[in-house]
Structure 1
Amino acid sequence: MELILIAIVALAAVLAFACVLARTRVKNRLISLAAALGEEPPGSASVSDLLSLVERSAERVRRHDSEVERQQQRFALALSAMTQGAVLCDEFGSTVMHNAFARTFTEARHGNAIVRAAIDDMLGRACNGEHDQREIELFGPPPRLLFVTAQPLLDGDEHLGALATVDDITDQQRIESIRRDFVANISHELRTPIGAVALLAETLVDEVDPLVVRRLSIRLRDESFRVSHMIDDLLALSQIEGDGVTESERIRVAHLVGEAVDRIRPAAEQAGVSIKVADFSEGLALRGDRRQLVSALFNLLENAVKYSDAGSIIEIRAAGDDDEVSMVVQDHGIGIPAKDLDRIFERFYRVDQARSRETGGTGLGLSIVRHVARNHGGSITVSSREGEGSTFMLMLPTGLEAPARAEVK
């Protein structure tokens, strides 16, 4: 019996020691875990205190990890929203991230593979500490011009990787080209009449013959009007391009046509050209900028008058429904060569340079028409045959709901 009691006591002692040892191990592990989580628990802390401390630390780490994940999401979304391509690589040159715009090149085939090869080469150089930038021309279609840069990412002396960016500068280059062409064109266009004015004025100084003086004065007046007309067209084009539709109102198409015809009638009568307005619905209307729309119709009519021979008839028609209105100006003049049809809406472009000089054309009228159409969400089209005449169609959305059309006055 005594042996049994001794055995029981010994077993209890062993179990107690094992519990103490296990508790100590648990405590030590909790202390190590707390230290790994950035905590410094006091030596007198109980297991319960250590558990609470570890739980709080774990919650803090979880929140930190969640914030890091959100920051990564923000970074990825910001990259995707960029209008330029971005490719990020590590210090070994391996790509670790790229946005959607850059993906069209990094996963490219055919023409875009040229860009991919350039990016890889430039990132390799950047990983060696070099800065690089290149312009890459893609012949398309459509043709594109890309500006690619690459730079190393350094934290002090530590090399962390490299970043390449890709900018599509096609539109920027096109706008710069248009600007240069515009400056060159306007300089050339103004030089001719201004030079003529200077020459005529110089000749007038010493001229005594009244008939010659009169003839030179008329020429001087005409050249002055030509310069004035060109400046007026430039100002009108600048306003239309810059302002968009500034004063939108409901307008009857009949009023627009009538106002434009009244403005061009003196020039048409002087040229011996008749203008015929076809019958159309008096209720036909649209919403837009009256000044711009009248200007567009006037320029179409003026263009028709200038390129029609005496005795010709210019017809103007209009039609439409609740959604769209079309206004057509048709002449029976000299027509437009097929090779010029794609360019007649460009600034200063003239099909017949000699005739433009005779009629005082500035080469800006059709460009004004095109911008008015764009400002109103419409379009301008042309069909023409040499020797038979031209037909211009201005298509515009009404901007009116069906019930509202009846209220237009």
Structure 2
Amino acid sequence: MRHTRTPMNLPLIGAALVGLGAGALLSYPGWGLALSMLAWSIYHARQFNKVMSWLSREADDMPPEGTGLWGDLLDQLARRRKRAVAREDKLKAVISRFQQSTASLFDAIVIIDRDNNLEWWNKAAETLLGFQDSDRGKSIFNLARDPRFIRYYQKEQYQEPLQLVSPINSHTFLQHQISRFGDGDRVLVSRDVTRLVKLEQTRQDFVANASHELRTPLTVIHGYVETFLEQDLPRPLHRGLSQMQHQTTRMERLVADLLLLSRLEATEHITDLHPVGIQRLIEQIHRDAEELSGDRAHHFQVEIEPGYQLLGQELELHSALSNLVFNAVRYTPGPGEISIRWWVDDKGGHFSVKDSGIGIDPIHIPRLTERFYRVDESRSSASGGTGLGLAIVKHVLMRHGAHLTIKSKTGEGSTFTCHFPPDMVRPVIEAVSN
């Protein structure tokens, strides 16, 4: 029912005049005014109580009858309440649909608030991560206690996912991916990748076993070919044996790289770290690179910031850094410029190799670290490369908590830079004699 709005001061003035008039007739105008104001207050108090009682009841209850201003107020409140109920029902339907859809997912979805506390998760999170209703509101660090997950979470570098064993099942492997949204909130998506891990392990075992089995026959063939080449043979036969020697040597390098890559892939992290003299290591690689350059006479520029050691495995670091330097020698026509640099800043240690070689089209850069990926098949084969060098570099750096950046343009050379975290770099403490 619509009510006609009446200015609030008119009923009040009218009640006051009635009270004064009635009191004047009885010769007590003051008492008449006081009694009329008291009646006015009691009436509005009762109307107020009706409104409050109605507001405290269920939203679908009909509003009480009211007159005047209270009728207008009740109409406005009833309309607003009806719209609020409609919006609430709509939101409930959306939330219910969202919960039903996420409950059907096999991936665990967890919403974490800005204070790192668990806010909501779907059914799969209970199966994969072991969350329970009593965990709501607890810190994510109390439930996901793996140090690698904590480092991944706190570094806030979520470009790459993190793969770990499930906290409730050692035979299940989970891939974690975190994204930020809202005002500091995060959503964690955990996916069961056990099948993919097992397939990858099968592939690694096959490659490792096949490579291992190939070593012996290749060694035998290579030895016999060398023995035959030492003999006085006809030129066509000598030429054929020379090609066989070249190809067996290349296959031996390929097998060696496959075995190294399989070993690197076996574990993602190094458990035994040793201080490595980075200056001595780079100087050794520089000497080997000059020998590889040979008659092409590349010009090397070496800049090493002294006084630092790098924590890690020396053989792995030598393999990764030498691969970058030797690639620069192979793909830079002589006499070209090759710059080798090591420096340390607040972001960690950095090793870069810059050349003036043929360069790489930027379209190929995202795939350069894939196994056997070649920008130019004929060019790579002629250089004697196996196609595994940069894959080895990537895995060595991952095991050392580092990463590789590549900058290159066709005809303008390339720059490969290894970035090591600050906790892997230590200053050399020299002994002071008294």
TM-score scaled by length of structure 2: 0.48
Match of 2:125 in 1: 100
Aligned pair 1:266/2:291, yes or no?
Answer: yes
CA distance in 1, matches of 2:371, 2:312: 24
Match of 2:387 in 1: 363
Match of 1:314 in 2: 338
CA distance in 2, matches of 1:353, 1:289: 32
Structure 1: segments with no counterpart, 5+ residues:
1-82, 87-96, 104-141, 144-166
Question: Residues 24-62 of structure 1, C-alpha deviation per residue, up to 9 Å, x if partnerless?
Answer: xxxxxxxxxxxxxxxxxxxxxxxxxxxxxxxxxxxxxxx
Of the three residues 265, 270, 274, the one matched with 1:249 is 274
- The Cα of 1:396 is off from its aligned counterpart by 0.7
Aligned pair 1:405/2:428, yes or no?
Answer: yes
Question: Residues 125-167 of structure 1, C-alpha deviation per residue, up to 9 Å, x if partnerless?
Answer: xxxxxxxxxxxxxxxxx99xxxxxxxxxxxxxxxxxxxxxxx9
Check the 8 A contact 1:230/1:362 in 2, yes or no: yes
CA distance in 1, matches of 2:376, 2:425: 43
Of the three residues 244, 248, 253, the one matched with 1:224 is 248
CA distance in 2, matches of 1:359, 1:334: 13
Question: Residues 296-325 of structure 1, C-alpha deviation per residue, up to 9 Å, x if partnerless?
Answer: 111001211221112112110111036610
1:298–1:408 distance in 2 versus 1, CA, 3 Å: farther
Q: Give runs of aligned pairs for residues 179-218 of structure 1, distance below 5 A.
A: 210-218=234-242
Counterpart of 2:382 in 1: which secondary structure? Answer: helix
Q: Give runs of aligned pairs for residues 96-245 of structure 1, distance below 5 A.
A: 98=123, 100=125, 168-169=191-192, 172-173=195-196, 176=199, 210-243=234-267, 244-245=269-270
Counterpart of 1:326 in 2: which secondary structure? Answer: strand
- The Cα of 1:363 is off from its aligned counterpart by 0.6
Structure 2: segments with no counterpart, 5+ residues:
1-105, 110-121, 129-159, 162-189
Amino acid at match of 1:277: V
Check the 8 A contact 1:322/1:401 in 2, yes or no: no
Amino acid at match of 1:232: A
Of the three residues 382, 386, 401, the one matched with 2:410 is 386
CA distance in 1, matches of 2:359, 2:194: 33
1:270–1:352 distance in 2 versus 1, CA, 3 Å: farther
- The Cα of 1:268 is off from its aligned counterpart by 1.6
Q: Give runs of aligned pairs for residues 28-43 of structure 1, distance below 5 A.
A: none
Counterpart of 1:220 in 2: which secondary structure? Answer: helix
Match of 2:348 in 1: 324
CA distance in 2, matches of 1:350, 1:182: 24
- The Cα of 1:250 is off from its aligned counterpart by 1.8
Check the 8 A contact 2:301/2:338 in 1, yes or no: yes
Amino acid at match of 1:297: L
Question: Residues 172-218 of structure 1, C-alpha deviation per residue, up to 9 Å, x if partnerless?
Answer: 4487379769979x99xx9xxx9xx99xx8xx9xxx97222222222
CA distance in 2, matches of 1:408, 1:393: 32
1:296–1:213 distance in 2 versus 1, CA, 3 Å: same
- The Cα of 1:281 is off from its aligned counterpart by 2.3
- The Cα of 1:400 is off from its aligned counterpart by 5.8
- The Cα of 1:252 is off from its aligned counterpart by 2.8
Amino acid at match of 2:239: R
Counterpart of 1:214 in 2: which secondary structure? Answer: helix
Aligned pair 1:275/2:300, yes or no?
Answer: yes
Instruction: Among all aligned residue pairs of Structure 1 and Structure 2, give the percentage whose two residues are the same amino acid.
Output: 31
Counterpart of 1:311 in 2: which secondary structure? Answer: coil
TM-score scaled by length of structure 1: 0.51
